[in-house]
């Protein structure tokens, strides 16, 4: 790839220094590789910078802090013959190349430019891209321009509305506001749900010194409805002296097919569910793996481009992985390669995410990776290799045991052909159930005892990083490059917080959502946003005019903004509503204010008195106390937040669970939301003496002791 005479007369421009460092390792001597550090030219932050009366022409400037980089590229370009623009192979990358080209042409009109793209950073891929350059794709540039201008028009019109009606410094975005709406609507469902108590009953059966549990599935020829502990005790008392006879055995063969290699959204979901990674962390690590890692004395990109909505795989990669499977797992190689259907919503611009070289197994390069890099690379490698292997075959066995009018059931699964599971480690199923003994129809077993267990019906689950990405993808909102930023923006603005890996809207987020969703129901909804994504895709396909899309959207939108600005009542005054509380420092009344982190109480004498304290969350449940429950921390502000009475130390009531805006129907006190690994989220009365929705803690302790004793005996 070196030029004649060995002179550096080709400038290759990528986005990141890491990528430049990787490419420098194996590109010829005739090339100089530099990084633009992302966008060099963009819209200014200080003003809207879009001429709506002149076909929405954007006013681009050099990004603040990037002038030195642009000056360096200009200087480098004066000494070379050609520039290869090698920014990322997506709309943003195309726009970056477009702006760099225009900026350099202003200083050197005779300079030659070519655009190269590659899906992976390997010597072969770089060589192929240099041999087959193309010109900048104006359709992609227009699609990016349309999205950028559209988001600017929405943000710079909605944000002043929020400043005027709610609080200075707030902001709103087109797609983020729709995601916020989804999260707020789910939170409303979570809060409205009242769980119902139910119980299950298991029998501990014994066969040849092997104990196992079977669960009650039928009583008096119908599915049992166990609504209280008394219900299960009545049944267990009836059955305690009976033998349990095997009444039915069913064997069902199951075939589990491998799954397709990862798209961006599926990788984010898998990393969240399997590894506990946030979407932002997943994409940061994937970027590192894509741009290049030092493996021994060489540096190479370990995975293909990580922003994709396609499950398509290059034929060369399919040939390579089938050869790998044939060598290492010959019994699991299908006769023909496996193809996966690409979603109709997919742009299919890039391959699925896969390892660049399948021989770079996770174990073989573990020492060259950080712990998190190794985890993410492992699931990408496993998903890709397993996608071209035979299905897994298993037999599920279900055994029914009859005792009196009751039927109990136990089950297990045995793998008979491992198939694609042979290669899974990080992605292997976590079902650790023990295999059951063999049984014959009519065989009788003794019951060692019964285990009643209390449960509550589960309501809708709050969104997590994984589930909100899944929802956005299913609804056609956003694209692979935007899923992680959507979540990050909501968290950074404090419209949403993470609580036990769940996305929970803040008071501020809910207020903003209420205003925007009620004032702009046609714009900030799922259907409209998904339709706009389709139109942007059509711009890239040269089937829509970007200016027409903006005209059709903006002028009706601006008219609505103006109407809302004139008609919507400001809630700034509402946020400073008087309260019954007095300032402990100066005695003046305290007012309820809205801050960045939600509501708080502040002295009305501000700025002379700057006293603040938390807003009470409910009444103290102790009969002799008229205090309020507030959020507190240990001395020094450290440690986990808890909730205690304002009359402390006279009243020492406290709870680690936050009161919610719902009253207990049994005693009228506040409900609190609890959560544990076994039961997930559930609600309970704040008053310890009230039995409403309380888990039978004593039974749980007894079960835990029995479990420890059993494990110790084994």
What local confidence, expressed as pLDDT, does residue 638 receive? 56
What local confidence, expressed as pLDDT, does residue 673 receive? 77
- H or E element in which residue 681 lies: strand 680-685
The series of mean pLDDT values per 10 residues for the chain, 714 residues long, is 54 94 86 94 94 96 95 93 94 96 94 94 92 95 96 95 87 93 95 90 91 95 93 94 96 96 96 94 96 91 94 94 97 95 70 96 96 98 97 96 96 94 91 85 95 90 95 91 92 90 91 93 90 92 95 95 91 73 88 77 89 84 83 63 84 83 77 69 76 52 39 33
Please state, in angstroms and rounded to a whole number, the distance separating the CA atoms of residues 386 and 570. 57
Q: For this structure, is 305 an active site residue?
A: yes
Please state, in angstroms and rounded to a whole number, the distance separating the CA atoms of residues 546 and 535. 9
Q: What is the largest CA-CA distance in the chain?
A: 97
Tell how far CA 477 is from the center of its chain. 14
Please state, in angstroms and rounded to a whole number, the distance separating the CA atoms of residues 410 and 424. 27
Give me the residue spans of the domains in the chain.
4-136, 145-193+491-567, 197-251+397-456, 264-386
What local confidence, expressed as pLDDT, does residue 627 receive? 84
Helix (H, G, I), strand (E, B) or coil at 630: strand
Please state, in angstroms and rounded to a whole number, the distance separating the CA atoms of residues 202 and 200. 7
Alpha helices (H) along 447-588: 465-475, 483-492, 507-519, 526-540, 546-567, 572-575
Phi, psi of 202 (to 5 degrees): -115, 145
8 Å CB contact between 694 and 519: no
Choosing among 3.20.10.10, 3.30.1490.20, 3.30.420.40, 3.40.50.140, the CATH entry for 4-136 is 3.40.50.140
Pick the catalytic residue from 262, 305, 377, 483. 305
Tokens 């900048």 -> residue: 136
Please state, in angstroms and rounded to a whole number, the distance separating the CA atoms of residues 165 and 574. 10
Tokens 């990580």 -> residue: 306
Answer whether the bond into residue 199 is a cis peptide, omega within 30°: no
DSSP 200-219: EEEEEEEETTEEEEEEEEEE
Other C-beta atoms lying within 10 Å of the C-beta of residue 554: 19
Please state, in angstroms and rounded to a whole number, the distance separating the CA atoms of residues 100 and 11. 12
Judge whether 4-136 and 197-251+397-456 match in fold.
no
Closest CA to 235 of 444, 410, 405, 453: 405
Whether this model's pTM surpasses 0.75: yes
396, two tokens: 């599920």
694, two tokens: 């309380």
Helix (H, G, I), strand (E, B) or coil at 255: strand
* Residues contacting 297, CB < 8 A, separation 6+: none
Please state, in angstroms and rounded to a whole number, the distance separating the CA atoms of residues 100 and 418. 52
8 Å CB contact between 183 and 503: yes
Q: For residue 513, count CB atoms less than 10 angstroms from its CB and return exposed for 0-12, middle for 13-18, buried for 19 or more.
A: buried
520, two tokens: 């702009």
CATH for 145-193+491-567 is: 1.10.460.10
What local confidence, expressed as pLDDT, does residue 597 receive? 67
What local confidence, expressed as pLDDT, does residue 712 receive? 36
Please state, in angstroms and rounded to a whole number, the distance separating the CA atoms of residues 472 and 181. 12
What local confidence, expressed as pLDDT, does residue 380 receive? 98
What local confidence, expressed as pLDDT, does residue 714 receive? 28
Half-sphere exposure of 3 (CA within 13 A, CB side): 15
CATH for 197-251+397-456 is: 2.70.20.10
595, two tokens: 């801050």
CATH topology of domain 264-386: Topoisomerase I; domain 4 (1.10.290)
């Amino acid at each position: 790839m070196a030029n004649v005479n060995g002179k550096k007369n080709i400038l290759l421009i990528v986005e990141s220094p890491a990528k430049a460092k990787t490419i420098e390792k194996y590109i010829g001597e005739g090339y100089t590789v530099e990084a633009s550090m992302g966008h060099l030219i963009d819209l200014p932050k200080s003003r809207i910078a879009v001429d709506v009366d002149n076909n929405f022409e954007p006013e681009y400037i050099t990004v603040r802090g990037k002038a030195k980089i642009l000056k360096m590229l200009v200087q480098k370009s004066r000494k070379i013959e050609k520039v290869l623009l090698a920014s990322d192979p997506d709309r943003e990358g195309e726009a970056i190349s477009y702006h760099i080209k225009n900026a350099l042409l202003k200083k050197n009109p005779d300079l030659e430019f070519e655009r190269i793209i590659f899906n992976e950073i390997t010597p072969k891929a770089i060589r192929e891209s240099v041999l087959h350059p193309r010109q900048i794709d104006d359709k992609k540039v227009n699609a990016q321009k349309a999205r950028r201008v559209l988001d600017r028009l929405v943000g710079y019109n909605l944000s002043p509305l929020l400043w005027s009606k709610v609080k200075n410094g707030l902001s709103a975005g087109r797609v983020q506001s729709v995601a916020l709406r989804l999260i707020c609507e789910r939170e409303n469902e979570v809060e409205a749900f009242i769980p119902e108590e139910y119980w299950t009953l298991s029998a501990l059966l014994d066969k040849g010194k092997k104990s196992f549990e079977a669960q009650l599935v039928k009583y008096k020829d119908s599915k049992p409805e166990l609504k209280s502990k008394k219900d299960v005790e009545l049944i267990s008392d009836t059955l305690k002296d009976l033998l349990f006879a095997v009444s039915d055995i069913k064997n069902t063969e199951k075939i589990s097919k491998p799954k397709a290699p990862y798209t961006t959204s599926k990788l984010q979901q898998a990393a969240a569910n399997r590894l506990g990674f946030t979407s932002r962390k997943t994409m940061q690590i994937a970027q590192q793996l894509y741009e290049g890692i030092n493996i021994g004395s060489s540096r190479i990109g370990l995975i293909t481009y990580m922003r994709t909505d396609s499950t398509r795989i290059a034929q060369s990669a399919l040939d390579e992985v089938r050869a790998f499977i044939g060598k290492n797992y010959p019994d699991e190689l299908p006769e023909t390669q496996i193809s996966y259907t690409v979603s109709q919503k997919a742009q299919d611009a890039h391959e699925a995410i896969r390892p660049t070289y399948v021989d770079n197994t996770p174990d073989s390069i573990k020492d060259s990776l950080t712990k998190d890099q190794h985890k993410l690379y492992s699931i990408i490698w496993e998903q890709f290799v397993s996608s071209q292997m035979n299905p897994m075959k298993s037999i599920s066995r279900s055994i029914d045991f009859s005792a009196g009018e009751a039927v109990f059931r136990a089950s297990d699964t045995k793998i008979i052909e491992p198939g694609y599971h042979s290669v899974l480690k990080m992605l292997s199923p976590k079902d650790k159930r023990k295999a059951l003994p063999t049984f014959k129809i009519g065989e009788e077993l003794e019951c060692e005892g019964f285990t009643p267990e209390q449960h509550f019906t589960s309501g809708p689950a709050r969104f997590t990083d994984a589930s909100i990405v899944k929802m956005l993808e299913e609804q056609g909102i956003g694209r692979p490059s935007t899923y992680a930023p959507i979540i990050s923006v909501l968290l950074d603005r404090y419209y949403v917080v993470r609580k036990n890996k769940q996305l929970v809207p803040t008071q501020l987020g809910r207020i903003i959502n209420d205003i925007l969703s009620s004032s702009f129901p046609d714009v900030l909804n799922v259907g409209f946003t998904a339709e706009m994504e389709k139109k942007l895709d059509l711009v890239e396909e040269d089937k829509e005019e970007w200016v027409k899309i903006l005209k059709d959207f903006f002028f009706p939108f601006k008219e609505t903004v103006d109407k809302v600005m004139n008609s919507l009542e400001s809630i700034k005054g509402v946020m400073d509503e008087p309260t019954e509380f007095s300032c402990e420092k100066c005695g003046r009344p305290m007012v309820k204010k809205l801050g960045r982190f939600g509501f708080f109480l502040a002295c009305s004498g501000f700025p002379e008195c700057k006293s603040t304290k938390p807003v009470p969350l409910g009444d103290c449940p102790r009969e002799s106390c008229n205090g309020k429950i507030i959020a507190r921390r240990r001395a020094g502000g450290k440690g986990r937040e808890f909730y205690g009475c304002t009359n402390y130390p006279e009243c020492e009531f406290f709870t680690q669970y936050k009161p919610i805006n719902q009253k207990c129907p049994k005693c009228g006190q506040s409900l609190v939301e609890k959560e544990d690994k076994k039961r997930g989220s559930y609600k309970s009365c704040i008053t310890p003496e009230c039995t409403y929705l309380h888990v039978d803690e004593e039974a749980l302790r007894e079960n835990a002791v029995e479990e420890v004793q059993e494990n110790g005996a084994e």
